[in-house]
Amino acid sequence: MIDMKKIIFFSLFSTALFLVPACNDDDKDDKKVTVTHVTLNKTEITMLLGGDNFILSEVVIPSNATDKTVTWASDYPEIASVNNGVVTAQSVGDAIITIKTNDGNKTANCKVTVFGCDEQTSQNIPRVLGVCDGWIRNEKNLITNFYSMYQPEVVYIKVWDDGERYPYLMWFFAWAYTFENTPLGDYPGFPGSDAIFLARAKSIEGPWEIYSQKHDTGEKFWDKSQNPYYWYPVLTCQDVWYDDYHVGDPSVIYKDGVFYMAYSAMGCDVDGIPGHLSEDTDGSSSCIMGATSTDGIHWTRSSAPLLIWEGEKGFDEKNNYANYFGGHQRPSILYEDGKWKMWYDVRFNRLGYAENEGDFMNPNDWNEIHSGRNPIMWAVDFDVIKLGDTYYAYGDPYIDWYNIVDKTLNVYPDDPSRWSTRQIVEYQSKDGLNWKVTGWFHPDTDYDAIQIPQVFHDEKDDRVCIFYATQRGKRYTSWYDWRWDNIRMMYRYLK
């Protein structure tokens, strides 16, 4: 007996198979997203022969293009070569770097001008500082793995340089393991937001060990693995209105067997609420504290701020900017001719100055010569050293404060704070009060910005060292991350 249901089903199934269109290459092309154009982060750059490489980066549009591969080329590789976007100066002259997409042969160009040291040093100041001025930079991390740290202040104790002890000490600050050093699991955290930590080394190049604690037993030790989970601060916040939120920016002098430190302190002010929170009613309080120590670990603080504006307590600077003359932060101290000298930030990125011919720890002995009412100039993170008869300082201002234009810097429209335009700047002065901007540094090749410089005279090898922090920028994220992830050093020999 014939099963009519099976015959009907088979006929319909066969017809369906016949009607289904075959999948061919034309159908695949219909799903392909083609490249429409390509752009570079720079269309023109200037490079120093023997200086740092420059990294060009491309954007292939649309972002979901099927084939986003590209090819790099230089019309004169003997002048400027390129390898996967990394441009290296080879000789003096001009070259064009071209990027071409493999899909559609879309192109973009960048003109490269390479000049030599003779041209560099003959330029008017300020100018870019680098190898022509003797600066050596290996971009090696000295301290790393932390959440966000900076302001690396280094001191050398010659009598400790006996092969057994650690003559180099470095104080640095901010957040070791968690955001604002807050507790997390077994991690205890620390009071306030920022804290000051300590590292030591037998050689300035490292390895650096960080003062640490086993949190379960309280045992102190020196961490050689650079694991910030164990790092233990040498200074944390106090329970007082001017010093309960932030301690940092240490500046240290070793004199007659004693370490003298000036550091930034900030408090939640009278209402006890941090100034960046919407519930705050009186802003934040800012001042400069003092501390002394004989081992660099255990510190005795000044009984009151060394420098603080008389109207600081309870003043709401956010809503009364014009009448605010406080904001003392980021000190830099020297001891010269029997006198303490201090430069510091005041009143929103202006430079202040004070002297003390008496007791470092006595606030009444400090004479504020240039306060928030009569600052020296615009400056930020200003650190000072004296070499011969000349004062040198290094800071990280917005370079356009001094009419500096640097087209090699990456500037991101989605970063309203313009962090990448804050770079390390050099100043010189004969009296410590009248300063001239002499130059600025390009960032390391793998970062958008290097900042928070601390200058140090390494008398052992007679060289000037600048310790600095690398800013994350867009290295790990699509948005500009202002936090810092490494501490590094550059230097030049004085001889």
Q: How far apart are CA 342 and CA 366, in angstroms?
A: 9
Residue 462 has pLDDT above 50, yes or no: yes
For 328-355, b/e burial (b = at least 16 CB within 10 A) is: bbbbbbbeeeeebbbbbbbbebbbbbbe
The pLDDT value given to residue 191 = 94
Tokens representing 270 are 């009278």
Residue 215 has pLDDT above 50, yes or no: yes
Answer yes or no: are the C-beta atoms of 410 and 403 closer than 8 Å. no
Same domain, 259 and 114: no
Tokens representing 209 are 């060990």
Angle, vertex CA 190, rays to CA 267 and CA 227, nearest 5? 130
Domains held by the chain: number = 2
The pLDDT value given to residue 125 = 78
Per the domain annotation, does 23 fall within a domain? Answer: no
The pLDDT value given to residue 381 = 97
pLDDT band at 300 (very low <50, low <70, confident <90, very high): very high
CA distances from 319 to 265, 305, 372, 419, 425 (A): 21, 24, 17, 24, 31
pLDDT band at 120 (very low <50, low <70, confident <90, very high): low
> What is 238-288 written as a DSSP string?
-SSTTSSSEEEEEEEEEETTEEEEEEEEEE-TTTTS-TTSTT-SS--EEEE
Residue 452 has pLDDT above 80, yes or no: yes
Per the domain annotation, does 6 fall within a domain? Answer: no
128: closest CA among 389, 404, 392?
A: 404
Same domain, 144 and 105: no
Q: How far apart are CA 3 and CA 5, in angstroms?
A: 6
Domain with residue 109: its CATH number is: 2.60.40.1080
Per the domain annotation, does 327 fall within a domain? Answer: yes
Per the domain annotation, does 30 fall within a domain? Answer: no
The pLDDT value given to residue 287 = 98
Same domain, 185 and 252: yes
pTM above 0.95, yes or no: no
The pLDDT value given to residue 7 = 42
Per the domain annotation, does 128 fall within a domain? Answer: no
* Domain C-terminal end among 64, 96, 119: 119
The pLDDT value given to residue 29 = 55
* Domain C-terminal end among 67, 84, 119: 119
Q: How far apart are CA 457 and CA 419, in angstroms?
A: 28
Same domain, 415 and 458: yes
328: closest CA among 365, 401, 311, 314?
A: 311
Per the domain annotation, does 324 fall within a domain? Answer: yes
Answer yes or no: are the C-beta atoms of 173 and 247 closer than 8 Å. yes
Per the domain annotation, does 18 fall within a domain? Answer: no
Same domain, 162 and 197: yes
Same domain, 274 and 227: yes
Same domain, 87 and 235: no
Residue 412's φ and ψ, nearest 5 degrees, are -110, 125
- The whole-chain average pLDDT of the chain stands at 92
Q: How far apart are CA 110 and CA 40, in angstroms?
A: 8
Give the model confidence (pLDDT) of 372-394 as tens digits. 999 999 999 999 999 999 999 99
Same domain, 154 and 63: no
Domain with residue 171: its CATH number is: 2.115.10.20
Q: How far apart are CA 246 and CA 180, in angstroms?
A: 9
Same domain, 52 and 184: no
Q: How far apart are CA 52 and CA 120, in angstroms?
A: 14
* Domain C-terminal end among 79, 95, 119: 119
Answer yes or no: are the C-beta atoms of 191 and 237 closer than 8 Å. yes
Tokens representing 120 are 């560099």
The pLDDT value given to residue 118 = 73
% pLDDT > 90, the chain:
81
Q: 70: domain range?
A: 35-119
Same domain, 393 and 314: yes
Same domain, 359 and 267: yes
Tokens representing 81 are 């070569």
Same domain, 113 and 217: no
Residue 25 has pLDDT above 80, yes or no: no
pLDDT band at 116 (very low <50, low <70, confident <90, very high): confident
Residue 13 has pLDDT above 50, yes or no: no
Q: How far apart are CA 253 and CA 293, in angstroms?
A: 11
pLDDT band at 260 (very low <50, low <70, confident <90, very high): very high
Give the model confidence (pLDDT) of 217-228 as tens digits. 999 999 999 999
Per the domain annotation, does 126 fall within a domain? Answer: no
% pLDDT > 70, the chain:
93
Residue 5 has pLDDT above 60, yes or no: no
Residue 121 has pLDDT above 70, yes or no: no
Residue 451 has pLDDT above 50, yes or no: yes
SS3 425: strand
Residue 49 has pLDDT above 50, yes or no: yes
Answer yes or no: are the C-beta atoms of 352 and 379 closer than 8 Å. no
- Quick one: CA dihedral 33, 37, 41, 46, positive or negative? positive
What average pLDDT score do residues 159-177 get?
97
